[in-house]
Structure 1
Protein backbone atom coordinates (compact mmCIF):
# COMPACT_ATOMS: atom_id res chain seq x y z
CA UNK A 1 0.00 0.00 0.00
CA UNK A 2 1.21 3.54 0.69
CA UNK A 3 4.38 4.26 2.61
CA UNK A 4 5.25 7.55 4.32
CA UNK A 5 7.00 8.92 1.23
CA UNK A 6 3.97 8.19 -0.97
CA UNK A 7 1.70 9.94 1.53
CA UNK A 8 4.02 12.95 1.64
CA UNK A 9 4.05 13.14 -2.17
CA UNK A 10 0.25 13.00 -2.31
CA UNK A 11 -0.15 15.63 0.45
CA UNK A 12 2.16 18.02 -1.43
CA UNK A 13 0.36 17.37 -4.71
CA UNK A 14 -3.00 18.10 -3.09
CA UNK A 15 -1.77 21.29 -1.44
CA UNK A 16 -0.29 22.71 -4.66
CA UNK A 17 -1.42 20.76 -7.74
CA UNK A 18 0.11 23.29 -10.16
CA UNK A 19 3.70 22.85 -9.03
CA UNK A 20 6.19 21.45 -11.50
CA UNK A 21 7.74 18.01 -11.10
CA UNK A 22 11.21 19.46 -10.28
CA UNK A 23 9.68 21.83 -7.68
CA UNK A 24 7.74 18.99 -6.08
CA UNK A 25 10.87 16.82 -6.04
CA UNK A 26 12.82 19.63 -4.32
CA UNK A 27 10.11 20.13 -1.70
CA UNK A 28 10.05 16.43 -0.89
CA UNK A 29 13.81 15.92 -1.08
CA UNK A 30 13.90 13.54 -4.05
CA UNK A 31 15.44 13.64 -7.47
CA UNK A 32 13.00 14.33 -10.28
CA UNK A 33 13.62 10.85 -11.75
CA UNK A 34 12.92 9.11 -8.43
CA UNK A 35 9.77 11.18 -7.95
CA UNK A 36 8.69 10.33 -11.49
CA UNK A 37 9.08 6.60 -10.76
CA UNK A 38 7.02 6.99 -7.57
CA UNK A 39 4.29 8.82 -9.46
CA UNK A 40 4.27 6.12 -12.15
CA UNK A 41 3.85 3.50 -9.41
CA UNK A 42 0.98 5.45 -7.85
CA UNK A 43 -0.71 5.74 -11.26
CA UNK A 44 -0.19 2.04 -12.07
CA UNK A 45 -1.74 1.04 -8.75
CA UNK A 46 -4.79 3.25 -9.42
CA UNK A 47 -4.19 5.54 -6.45
CA UNK A 48 -3.26 8.55 -8.56
CA UNK A 49 -5.71 8.86 -11.43
CA UNK A 50 -3.99 11.76 -13.14
CA UNK A 51 -4.31 15.50 -13.16
CA UNK A 52 -7.23 17.46 -14.47
CA UNK A 53 -8.32 20.98 -15.22
CA UNK A 54 -11.02 22.23 -12.88
CA UNK A 55 -13.12 24.78 -14.73
CA UNK A 56 -15.34 27.23 -12.87
CA UNK A 57 -18.57 26.90 -14.83
CA UNK A 58 -19.84 30.15 -13.29
CA UNK A 59 -16.98 32.00 -14.99
CA UNK A 60 -18.34 30.64 -18.28
CA UNK A 61 -21.77 32.17 -17.68
CA UNK A 62 -23.62 29.34 -15.94
CA UNK A 63 -25.34 30.93 -12.94
CA UNK A 64 -27.90 28.28 -11.91
CA UNK A 65 -27.31 24.86 -10.36
CA UNK A 66 -30.20 22.52 -9.66
CA UNK A 67 -30.23 19.11 -8.00
CA UNK A 68 -32.87 16.72 -9.25
CA UNK A 69 -33.74 13.70 -7.16
CA UNK A 70 -35.26 11.13 -9.46
CA UNK A 71 -37.24 8.03 -8.60
CA UNK A 72 -37.43 5.55 -11.46
CA UNK A 73 -40.16 3.17 -12.51
CA UNK A 74 -38.44 0.00 -11.35
CA UNK A 75 -41.10 -2.23 -12.87
CA UNK A 76 -39.08 -1.83 -16.07
CA UNK A 77 -36.08 -4.16 -16.03
CA UNK A 78 -33.79 -1.79 -17.95
CA UNK A 79 -34.98 1.41 -16.24
CA UNK A 80 -31.62 2.26 -14.64
CA UNK A 81 -29.50 1.47 -17.69
CA UNK A 82 -31.72 3.37 -20.12
CA UNK A 83 -32.18 6.36 -17.83
CA UNK A 84 -28.45 6.68 -17.06
CA UNK A 85 -27.46 6.32 -20.72
CA UNK A 86 -29.87 9.09 -21.74
CA UNK A 87 -28.90 11.37 -18.81
CA UNK A 88 -25.21 11.09 -19.73
CA UNK A 89 -26.02 12.63 -23.12
CA UNK A 90 -27.29 15.90 -21.62
CA UNK A 91 -24.31 18.30 -21.60
CA UNK A 92 -25.73 20.41 -18.77
CA UNK A 93 -25.87 17.39 -16.45
CA UNK A 94 -22.51 17.69 -14.71
CA UNK A 95 -22.93 14.93 -12.13
CA UNK A 96 -24.95 11.73 -11.81
CA UNK A 97 -25.17 9.77 -8.57
CA UNK A 98 -27.14 6.61 -7.85
CA UNK A 99 -28.60 5.63 -4.48
CA UNK A 100 -30.31 2.83 -2.64
CA UNK A 101 -33.58 3.95 -1.10
CA UNK A 102 -36.58 6.03 -2.12
CA UNK A 103 -34.51 8.22 -4.45
CA UNK A 104 -32.71 6.29 -7.19
CA UNK A 105 -30.66 8.97 -8.95
CA UNK A 106 -29.49 12.51 -8.31
CA UNK A 107 -28.61 14.76 -11.24
CA UNK A 108 -26.72 18.05 -10.93
CA UNK A 109 -27.79 20.35 -13.73
CA UNK A 110 -26.29 23.74 -14.61
CA UNK A 111 -27.86 26.49 -16.70
CA UNK A 112 -27.11 30.06 -17.70
CA UNK A 113 -30.27 31.34 -16.00
CA UNK A 114 -33.75 30.15 -14.99
CA UNK A 115 -35.13 30.52 -18.52
CA UNK A 116 -32.33 28.30 -19.83
CA UNK A 117 -32.97 25.80 -17.02
CA UNK A 118 -36.66 25.64 -17.95
CA UNK A 119 -35.70 24.78 -21.55
CA UNK A 120 -33.34 22.04 -20.36
CA UNK A 121 -35.93 20.70 -17.90
CA UNK A 122 -38.81 20.60 -20.38
CA UNK A 123 -36.95 19.45 -23.48
CA UNK A 124 -34.32 17.12 -22.02
CA UNK A 125 -34.98 16.12 -18.39
CA UNK A 126 -38.70 15.39 -18.71
CA UNK A 127 -38.04 13.29 -21.80
CA UNK A 128 -35.68 10.94 -19.94
CA UNK A 129 -37.07 7.39 -19.82
CA UNK A 130 -38.65 5.61 -16.85
CA UNK A 131 -39.13 8.60 -14.52
CA UNK A 132 -41.71 7.93 -11.82
CA UNK A 133 -41.06 11.09 -9.76
CA UNK A 134 -38.73 14.12 -9.71
CA UNK A 135 -37.96 16.41 -6.79
CA UNK A 136 -36.15 19.64 -7.62
CA UNK A 137 -33.74 21.27 -5.18
CA UNK A 138 -32.52 24.75 -6.05
CA UNK A 139 -28.85 25.14 -5.17
CA UNK A 140 -28.23 28.20 -2.99
CA UNK A 141 -24.62 27.93 -1.78
CA UNK A 142 -21.72 25.49 -1.72
CA UNK A 143 -20.42 25.54 1.84
CA UNK A 144 -17.61 23.02 1.40
CA UNK A 145 -16.20 21.53 -1.75
CA UNK A 146 -12.84 19.94 -1.10
CA UNK A 147 -11.45 16.87 -2.83
CA UNK A 148 -8.34 16.77 -0.65
CA UNK A 149 -8.07 13.57 1.35
CA UNK A 150 -6.71 13.28 4.89
CA UNK A 151 -3.53 11.43 3.92
Structure 2
Protein backbone atom coordinates (compact mmCIF):
# COMPACT_ATOMS: atom_id res chain seq x y z
CA UNK A 1 0.00 0.00 0.00
CA UNK A 2 2.65 2.56 1.05
CA UNK A 3 6.17 2.40 -0.26
CA UNK A 4 9.30 3.80 1.37
CA UNK A 5 8.93 7.25 -0.22
CA UNK A 6 5.31 7.53 0.93
CA UNK A 7 6.33 6.64 4.49
CA UNK A 8 9.19 9.14 4.45
CA UNK A 9 6.85 11.85 3.14
CA UNK A 10 4.36 11.16 5.92
CA UNK A 11 7.08 11.07 8.61
CA UNK A 12 8.42 14.44 7.49
CA UNK A 13 4.94 15.96 7.30
CA UNK A 14 4.13 14.71 10.81
CA UNK A 15 7.37 16.16 12.15
CA UNK A 16 6.96 19.55 10.46
CA UNK A 17 3.95 20.18 8.22
CA UNK A 18 5.13 23.74 7.48
CA UNK A 19 7.81 22.62 4.98
CA UNK A 20 7.38 24.11 1.53
CA UNK A 21 7.20 21.69 -1.38
CA UNK A 22 10.77 22.45 -2.54
CA UNK A 23 12.14 22.11 1.03
CA UNK A 24 10.40 18.80 1.52
CA UNK A 25 11.58 17.56 -1.88
CA UNK A 26 15.18 18.44 -0.91
CA UNK A 27 14.87 16.62 2.41
CA UNK A 28 13.52 13.55 0.63
CA UNK A 29 16.09 13.73 -2.18
CA UNK A 30 13.40 13.79 -4.88
CA UNK A 31 12.00 16.35 -7.31
CA UNK A 32 9.18 18.74 -6.50
CA UNK A 33 7.09 17.32 -9.34
CA UNK A 34 7.50 13.72 -8.12
CA UNK A 35 6.70 14.83 -4.56
CA UNK A 36 3.64 16.73 -5.79
CA UNK A 37 2.34 13.61 -7.59
CA UNK A 38 2.88 11.52 -4.43
CA UNK A 39 1.09 14.08 -2.27
CA UNK A 40 -1.82 14.12 -4.74
CA UNK A 41 -1.96 10.30 -4.54
CA UNK A 42 -1.91 10.36 -0.73
CA UNK A 43 -4.71 12.94 -0.72
CA UNK A 44 -6.79 11.06 -3.32
CA UNK A 45 -6.50 7.80 -1.39
CA UNK A 46 -7.66 9.49 1.83
CA UNK A 47 -4.43 8.79 3.71
CA UNK A 48 -3.48 12.44 3.86
CA UNK A 49 -6.45 14.57 4.81
CA UNK A 50 -4.80 17.97 4.72
CA UNK A 51 -3.04 20.34 7.05
CA UNK A 52 -4.44 22.28 9.96
CA UNK A 53 -3.39 24.97 12.38
CA UNK A 54 -3.13 23.70 15.94
CA UNK A 55 -3.95 26.48 18.37
CA UNK A 56 -2.88 26.26 22.00
CA UNK A 57 -6.08 27.21 23.80
CA UNK A 58 -4.12 27.70 27.03
CA UNK A 59 -2.16 30.51 25.35
CA UNK A 60 -5.52 32.17 24.65
CA UNK A 61 -6.43 32.21 28.35
CA UNK A 62 -8.27 28.92 28.78
CA UNK A 63 -6.84 27.34 31.92
CA UNK A 64 -9.45 24.67 32.72
CA UNK A 65 -10.30 21.46 30.87
CA UNK A 66 -13.02 19.14 32.08
CA UNK A 67 -13.95 15.78 30.64
CA UNK A 68 -17.65 15.03 30.96
CA UNK A 69 -18.81 11.45 30.72
CA UNK A 70 -22.46 11.44 29.75
CA UNK A 71 -25.00 8.63 29.80
CA UNK A 72 -28.03 9.34 27.64
CA UNK A 73 -31.66 8.36 28.05
CA UNK A 74 -31.69 5.68 25.38
CA UNK A 75 -35.45 5.22 25.61
CA UNK A 76 -35.57 8.23 23.28
CA UNK A 77 -34.89 7.07 19.72
CA UNK A 78 -33.17 10.30 18.66
CA UNK A 79 -31.25 10.83 21.91
CA UNK A 80 -27.76 10.52 20.38
CA UNK A 81 -28.47 12.68 17.33
CA UNK A 82 -30.21 15.45 19.28
CA UNK A 83 -27.63 15.48 22.08
CA UNK A 84 -24.65 15.59 19.71
CA UNK A 85 -26.23 18.28 17.50
CA UNK A 86 -26.83 20.48 20.55
CA UNK A 87 -23.37 19.80 22.04
CA UNK A 88 -21.71 20.84 18.75
CA UNK A 89 -23.22 24.31 19.19
CA UNK A 90 -21.32 24.96 22.44
CA UNK A 91 -18.07 26.73 21.44
CA UNK A 92 -16.22 25.56 24.56
CA UNK A 93 -16.85 21.89 23.71
CA UNK A 94 -13.66 21.07 21.82
CA UNK A 95 -14.13 17.32 21.45
CA UNK A 96 -17.06 14.90 21.31
CA UNK A 97 -16.55 11.14 21.41
CA UNK A 98 -19.15 8.37 21.45
CA UNK A 99 -18.76 4.97 23.12
CA UNK A 100 -20.39 1.61 23.53
CA UNK A 101 -20.95 0.73 27.17
CA UNK A 102 -22.16 2.50 30.29
CA UNK A 103 -20.88 5.88 29.13
CA UNK A 104 -22.40 6.99 25.82
CA UNK A 105 -20.60 10.28 25.11
CA UNK A 106 -17.52 12.11 26.35
CA UNK A 107 -17.29 15.86 26.00
CA UNK A 108 -14.07 17.78 26.45
CA UNK A 109 -14.89 21.28 27.68
CA UNK A 110 -12.50 24.21 28.12
CA UNK A 111 -13.01 27.34 30.20
CA UNK A 112 -11.02 30.37 31.27
CA UNK A 113 -11.39 29.51 34.96
CA UNK A 114 -13.71 27.61 37.32
CA UNK A 115 -16.41 30.35 37.48
CA UNK A 116 -16.47 30.37 33.65
CA UNK A 117 -16.73 26.56 33.63
CA UNK A 118 -19.62 26.71 36.14
CA UNK A 119 -21.44 29.15 33.85
CA UNK A 120 -20.94 26.88 30.82
CA UNK A 121 -21.98 23.81 32.81
CA UNK A 122 -25.15 25.32 34.26
CA UNK A 123 -26.30 27.37 31.27
CA UNK A 124 -25.31 25.09 28.39
CA UNK A 125 -24.27 21.57 29.40
CA UNK A 126 -27.14 20.85 31.77
CA UNK A 127 -29.62 22.08 29.17
CA UNK A 128 -28.47 19.49 26.60
CA UNK A 129 -31.26 17.04 25.74
CA UNK A 130 -31.61 13.45 26.93
CA UNK A 131 -28.99 13.41 29.71
CA UNK A 132 -29.62 10.53 32.14
CA UNK A 133 -26.33 10.86 34.05
CA UNK A 134 -23.24 13.02 33.87
CA UNK A 135 -19.83 12.72 35.54
CA UNK A 136 -17.17 15.43 35.46
CA UNK A 137 -13.47 14.64 35.51
CA UNK A 138 -11.11 17.59 36.00
CA UNK A 139 -7.97 17.37 33.86
CA UNK A 140 -4.82 17.70 35.92
CA UNK A 141 -2.14 17.03 33.31
CA UNK A 142 -1.91 15.89 29.71
CA UNK A 143 0.85 13.28 29.71
CA UNK A 144 0.77 12.38 26.02
CA UNK A 145 -1.13 13.97 23.18
CA UNK A 146 0.34 12.88 19.89
CA UNK A 147 -1.38 12.03 16.65
CA UNK A 148 1.82 10.98 14.92
CA UNK A 149 1.73 7.46 13.59
CA UNK A 150 4.64 4.99 13.70
CA UNK A 151 5.47 5.02 9.99
- Do they fold alike, i.e. is TM over 0.5? yes
- In 1, Cα distance between the equivalents of 2:76 and 2:13? 45
What are the residue-to-residue correspondences of 1:1-151 with 2, within 5 Å?
1-151=1-151
- In 2, Cα distance between the equivalents of 1:60 and 1:52? 18
Q: Secondary structure at the match of 2:94?
A: strand
Shift of 1:30: 0.9
- In 2, Cα distance between the equivalents of 1:55 and 1:131? 30
For residues 57-101 of structure 1, the C-alpha deviation after alignment (integer angstroms, 9 at most, x for no partner) is 000010000000000000000000000000000000000000000
Runs of 4 or more above 4 Å deviation: none
Q: Secondary structure at the match of 1:65?
A: strand
- In 2, Cα distance between the equivalents of 1:96 and 1:74? 18
- In 1, Cα distance between the equivalents of 2:42 and 2:60? 33
- In 2, Cα distance between the equivalents of 1:98 and 1:43? 27
Shift of 1:19: 1.5
Shift of 1:147: 0.8
- In 1, Cα distance between the equivalents of 2:60 and 2:15? 25
Gaps of 5+ in 1: none
> Which sits farther off after the overlay, 16-25 or 63-72?
16-25
- In 1, Cα distance between the equivalents of 2:16 and 2:52? 13
Gaps of 5+ in 2: none
CA RMSD, aligned part only? Answer: 0.6
For residues 11-43 of structure 1, the C-alpha deviation after alignment (integer angstroms, 9 at most, x for no partner) is 111112221111110010111111011001100
